[in-house]
Amino acid sequence: MTESNLLHELITLAAHRTPAALALTDGGIHVSYADLAAGVARFAAGLAGVGLARGERVAVYLEKRFETVIASFGSAAAGCVFVPVNPLLKPEQVAFILRDCNVRVLVTSPARLPLLHTVLSTCLDLRHVVVTDASVDAQASDGTSTVQVPAPLETVRWSDLLSNAPTRHGHRVIDADMVAILYTSGSTGSPKGVVLSHRNMVAGAKSVASYLENDAQDTLLAALPLSFDAGFSQLTTAFHVGARVALLNYLLPRDVLKTMAREGVTGLTAVPPLYIQLAQLEWPAAIQEKLRYFANTGGRMPRETLGLLRQRVPQAKPFLMYGLTEAFRSTYLPPEEVDRRPDSIGKAIPNAEILVLRDDGTPCAPDEPGELVHRGALVGMGYWNDAEKTAERFKALAVDAAAHPAGLQLPEFAVFSGDTVCRDAEGFLYFIGRRDEMIKTSGYRVSPTEVEEVLYATRLVQECVAFGVDHPMLGCAIHMIATCADSTCATAEKTLIHECRSRMPAYMVPASIEIVAGPLPRNPNGKIDRKLLSTEWIRRHRA
């Protein structure tokens, strides 16, 4: 085997090439590729030992740690499907995921298991709870190593699962088989489980590593949740080239900088809210000596934030990226284009094609707004157990929309993102807004991100979010919630309104700006939770 086709083979091949090379770091503890591959094989054998069938689901409800990685890739090696659960989720949210995708095995820690005590009985498909060893669990200082679970659940210690099962091969799978279910944050209703295949995730690793020019000398920081596609991508990208991943359970922005300096991080991928905070801090000189690139995902990077980051680490290349959980990653802007077109989300990543289509499925002309559609090997398999939503987003391409001739037995399905973009004459894409977030005011459609960009450019706000609220004359009025960048809070609202009037057309000017104490709330993926803030605002003003 010279090339990985299955997810777990990323680790197997790296271990074959350089068994002693470091794969993971957590604090001061390191794991080599040889040891990681052995752990993955033992976990896979353990799953076979408890009788899991091909394609059954294994949920991993842990913070970032070695067991999280071993369980995820070990599930793949067993021929099963792993479901990473964000450790920030509350018990009822965890239970929803366990029930929704019929999880058979749950992997968690002695510290987290008691949190689920009242909800596990509602998870009727669950059969086994694998509990990490208390002796290596930094959070289990209270001795909660044996927690009672409702019958007929069986509790299995991590060390027993890995040591008692004889070595055996997992179920036969091919690259078209499902390997993971990643749940979206659920900001617009119940979370949706995006089903990804081995091919999706391996193709994504190869594509991202190619344009970021990753190699075995890199150290990537895993700062984002591993339940987030961009967070898990740090593992797959690194393992594809044999690089090292430093695990970090995000606490404060200063912890991110300290870890980057200590571990010699060469590549950082994060979301705009974290970059906004990091840009306000002084960066240790050790970071400048090592950091090769920083990459943005999960929303548009404010120009002011991008400028500050480039001042902090002038030698690091900025990669502005756009991605969909349904397709893992879609576009990036090459660093050499950032100065000329900082608002662009770039062009398609390698081995993908991005189309801009009208509602009738025909291609848009240059500069004509349309829906971003992703085709290629990274297109996911659909939403778990939700045929209706799958049909809304995963659609067959029209014959004239791409190089896909009529008459073929199988149609080609692509992801219709729901995002409005346009493409300029040189082929660069520009994000306009989410169709379900666009604000219709005074007959105009306004992107909230466009309004937010203006406020960030004033340098008077630390963070901000825009959303529409009902208005008897305008249809919707634009309301802003912002946090202050300095001590000007007393006059910030009046000043910001004045700045908006001088920088944007009248229909885009917010009707009101509310200054609050920061930081603004995040959803589980670290993005500012626009839906939560708008819902709370509506509730307060209806009371």
> For the segment 290-331, what is each residue's pLDDT rounded down to a tens digit?
999 999 988 778 888 999 999 999 999 999 999 889 998 999
At 488 the pLDDT is: 60
At 474 the pLDDT is: 73
Compute the average pLDDT of residues 461-475: 84
At 457 the pLDDT is: 87
At 429 the pLDDT is: 96
Q: Is the pLDDT of residue 119 over 90?
A: yes
> pTM, whole model, 2 decimals?
0.84
| pLDDT more than 70, % of the chain | 92
Residue 86 is encoded by which pair of tokens?
A: 């964000």
Residue 505 is encoded by which pair of tokens?
A: 């057309």
Compute the average pLDDT of residues 428-444: 79
> For residues 460 and 160, what is the distance between their CA atoms, to the nearest angstrom?
56
Specify whether the CB–CB gap between 109 and 62 falls below 8 A. Answer: yes
Please report where in the chains the tokens 């960066």 appear, as a residue: 283
Least confident interval from 101-110, 153-162, 403-412 = 403-412
Least confident interval from 83-87, 159-163, 254-258, 272-276 = 272-276
Q: Is the pLDDT of residue 348 over 80?
A: yes
Per-residue confidence at 137, pLDDT binned at 50, 70, 90?
Answer: very low
Dihedral, 335, 339, 343, 345 alpha carbons, nearest 10: -20
Give the count of beta carbons closer than 10 Å to the beta carbon of residue 189. 9
Q: Is the pLDDT of residue 543 over 90?
A: no
Specify whether the CB–CB gap between 82 and 72 falls below 8 A. Answer: yes
All structural domains of the chain = 9-197 (3.40.50.980), 251-434 (3.40.50.12780), 439-542 (3.30.300.30)
At 487 the pLDDT is: 59
Per-residue confidence at 218, pLDDT binned at 50, 70, 90?
Answer: very high
Beta bridge partners of 83: 59
> For residues 56 and 54, what is the distance between their CA atoms, to the nearest angstrom?
6
Specify whether the CB–CB gap between 414 and 397 falls below 8 A. Answer: yes
Compute the average pLDDT of residues 422-434: 91
Per-residue confidence at 140, pLDDT binned at 50, 70, 90?
Answer: very low
At 383 the pLDDT is: 96
- DSSP letter at 359? T
At 521 the pLDDT is: 92
Q: Is the pLDDT of residue 146 over 70?
A: no
Return contacts of 233-238, CB within 8 angstroms, 24+ apart: 233/204, 233/205, 233/208, 233/269, 233/328, 233/329, 234/269, 235/69, 235/72, 236/7, 236/10, 236/201, 236/202, 236/204, 236/205, 236/208, 237/205, 237/208, 237/209, 237/212, 238/23, 238/214
Query: Alpha carbon of 285 to those of 189, 248, 270: distances in Å?
Result: 44, 20, 20
Q: Calculate the average pLDDT of the chain.
A: 90
Among 190-199, 204-213, 412-421, 458-467, the range with the most confident prediction by mean pLDDT is: 204-213
> For residues 174 and 198, what is the distance between their CA atoms, to the nearest angstrom?
8
At 231 the pLDDT is: 94
At 138 the pLDDT is: 40
What pLDDT, in 10s, does the model give residues 473-507? Answer: 677 889 999 998 775 666 678 889 999 998 887 87
Specify whether the CB–CB gap between 29 and 223 falls below 8 A. Answer: no
> For residues 72 and 245, what is the distance between their CA atoms, to the nearest angstrom?
15
> For residues 479 and 513, what is the distance between their CA atoms, to the nearest angstrom?
6
Per-residue confidence at 76, pLDDT binned at 50, 70, 90?
Answer: very high
At 473 the pLDDT is: 66
Query: Alpha carbon of 522 to those of 40, 254, 480, 519: distances in Å?
Result: 33, 18, 16, 9
Return contacts of 354-359, CB within 8 angstroms, 24+ apart: 354/330, 354/429, 355/397, 355/401, 355/402, 355/414, 356/421, 356/422, 356/423, 356/429, 357/401, 357/416
- Strands 370-376 and 178-183: what pairing? unpaired
Q: Is the pLDDT of residue 403 over 70?
A: no
What pLDDT, in 10s, does the model give residues 25-50? Answer: 999 999 999 999 999 999 999 999 99
> For residues 220 and 200, what is the distance between their CA atoms, to the nearest angstrom?
21
**35 compared with 398, residue with greater pLDDT:** 35
> For residues 306 and 309, what is the distance between their CA atoms, to the nearest angstrom?
5
Residue 12 is encoded by which pair of tokens?
A: 């197997």
Residue 88 is encoded by which pair of tokens?
A: 């920030």
- Strands 244-247 and 22-26: what pairing? parallel
**541 compared with 284, residue with greater pLDDT:** 284
**251 compared with 129, residue with greater pLDDT:** 129
Compute the average pLDDT of residues 128-142: 66
